[in-house]
């Protein structure tokens, strides 16, 4: 693959040593066995913007079956978030996918 540089010269783009992943699990396994510093020459700086919305003003009480709540608690623990935060994330993601 050729990539045009600022001077208008075409150079061959170097193939990445970071593989393309088919699943998040595959990617997680890769990064569990590699350090990102091994690939510093391939990484680029990005700007991260945090959208600090105002605090939640509404409360929703949802009754769940015990096994569903336990699954949510395990997933929340794996993701390092509270059960409430995970529920809000999942609801938000689902609503965004329904709108499209």
SS (H, E, C) 23-68: CHHHHHHHHHCCCHHHHHHHCCCCCCCCCCCCCCCCCCCCCCCHHH
- Contacts of residue 39, Cβ cutoff 8 Å, sequence gap at least 6: 17, 18
Contacts 24+ apart (CB under 8 A), 26-29: none
Q: What pLDDT, in 10s, does the model give residues 16-69?
A: 888 889 999 999 999 999 998 888 888 888 888 777 777 777 888 889 999 999
pLDDT band at 9, cuts 50/70/90?
A: low
Question: What residues does each domain of the chain span?
Answer: 60-100
Neighbouring C-beta atoms of residue 36, cutoff 10 Å: 10
- Contacts of residue 1, Cβ cutoff 8 Å, sequence gap at least 6: 12, 13
Contacts 24+ apart (CB under 8 A), 7-12: none
User: Tell me, what's the pLDDT at 5?
Assistant: 61
pLDDT band at 6, cuts 50/70/90?
A: low
């Amino acid at each position: 693959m050729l990539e045009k540089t600022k001077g208008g010269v075409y150079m061959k783009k170097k193939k990445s040593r970071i593989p393309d992943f088919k699943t998040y699990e595959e990617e997680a396994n890769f990064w569990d066995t590699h350090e990102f510093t091994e690939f510093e020459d391939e990484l680029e700086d990005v700007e991260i913007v945090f959208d600090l919305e105002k605090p939640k003003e509404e409360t929703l009480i949802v009754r769940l079956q015990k096994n569903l709540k336990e699954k949510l608690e395990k997933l929340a623990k794996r993701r390092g978030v509270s059960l409430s935060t995970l529920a809000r994330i999942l609801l938000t993601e689902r609503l965004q996918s329904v709108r499209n």
